[in-house]
Chains A and B, each alone.
Chain A
Amino acid sequence: MHEFLRMLPFGVSAWLFVVGLYGIVTSRHLVHLIMCLVVVQTSTYLLLLGVGFKAGATAPIFVDVPVGTPAVDPVTHALMLTDIVVEATVMALLLALAIQAKEHAGSVDPEELRILRG
């Protein structure tokens, strides 16, 4: 049981990575594919969260608590919070590409995007 808890966030991270990738591989709709990519990206948040967490520690914000109180790693949080906002704009770019794919290839099914084949 202890070993299970020790690895749980990393296990969930791996699960989200693999299941999202499975969704991308088997996807029949570009918008579905993009949302699966968001799930894949989430796995990195869980990994970072798991690495930086310290049992029993508070958030690294020393307003109400004095400096020196055990706090979790701020670096991983900084990585995640910028990534979440950047992810949203990258997703907008991908959705715009999906609209253009529909325009030029006539379909949003990745299987039918013959135009991409050499």
Chain B
Amino acid sequence: MTRRFRNLFFLASAAGFAVFYLWGLHLLPGFGHYPGPYGDVLNALSVYERHATDVITAVNFDYRGFDTLGEEFILFTSVMGANLLLRKQKDDKEEDPPLDLARDRLAPPTSDAVRVAGLALLLPIVVFGIYTVTHGQLTPGGGFQGGVILASAPLIIYLCGDYENFKRITSHVLTEVMEAVGAGGYAVTGLISFIFGYKYLQNFIPLGQTGDVFSGGTIALISALTGLEVAAGIVLLMISFFKQTLVYRKPGEERGDRNA
């Protein structure tokens, strides 16, 4: 396919898309006029039915729990796939991580201001991440958001220090186990529902007091497991990317730093 033909093909498709899209838009209720009953029903019921004040988390981990299980396995699979592609290959050699990847200049050392600010932010980030995971059913948050917030903590360490510091506080095996526990735990939680004679992923834990940290039954449990999986998955990705970029070298690839 030549470049010219491809561009023409794109133009024709885009024009076709525009026509059909405008046609479809014509019958859509306008922006701000929400038509559907589902959102309103969920907003009215979820506080009574599930004792969860954040309806979004209730939808995510309870009403739509099976769907989210699928999404979580997309996440799991793509983390595994990226790890497989970035693994150490047969002819890869390991080298000491270079101090400086720029070839034609010396990178300035990390400034003290960045170090102090980063280290001061570290603890609040961890606490806020745990808070976001555990209070998902009460206030905005939940496993997915809390997980990424927690995963950014090791990256702050890298920002303040270097790869050695990052390596010291992360463990490839541990993150892999955590990720497996998170993803597997979600699926197993669904199976436990069967023991109580419920349907898959139906809420079997007592719902508790509305507004309590342990309210919402399985919502809080699944949220915590998801937080574990997302945090471990993203840290695992970072470990792989760091290793691939800084440590593994094919034969003939020169050292990254200027001293080579």
Contacts and interface: CB of A to CB of B under 8 A. Distances in A.
The answer to whether A and B belong to the same complex is: yes
A52 B53 contact: no
B42 A74 contact: yes
Contacts of B55: 60-62, 71, 74
Interface residues of A, number: 53
A21 B14 CA distance: 9
A91 to B, nearest CB: 9
Nearest to A8: B31
A18 B237 CA distance: 30
Contacts of A52: 34, 39
A63 B145 contact: no
Contacts of B147: 85
Interface in B73-93: 74-75, 78-79, 81-82, 85-86
B64 A75 contact: yes
Chain B interface size band reads 35 or more
B13 to A, nearest CB: 8
Counting chain A CB atoms within 10 Å of each CB, the highest count among B25, B64, B78, B230 belongs to B78
A64 B180 CA distance: 37
Contacts of B43: 60, 62, 67, 71, 74
B30 interface: yes
25 contacts: A6-B31, A10-B28, A10-B31, A18-B18, A26-B7, A52-B39, A55-B32, A55-B33, A60-B42, A61-B54, A62-B55, A68-B44, A72-B34, A73-B38, A74-B42, A74-B56, A77-B56, A78-B64, A81-B142, A85-B144, A90-B74, A92-B79, A92-B82, A93-B81, A96-B240
Q: 10 closest Cβ contacts across the A-B interface?
A: A73-B39, A55-B32, A6-B30, A96-B85, A60-B55, A54-B34, A74-B55, A78-B59, A93-B78, A96-B82
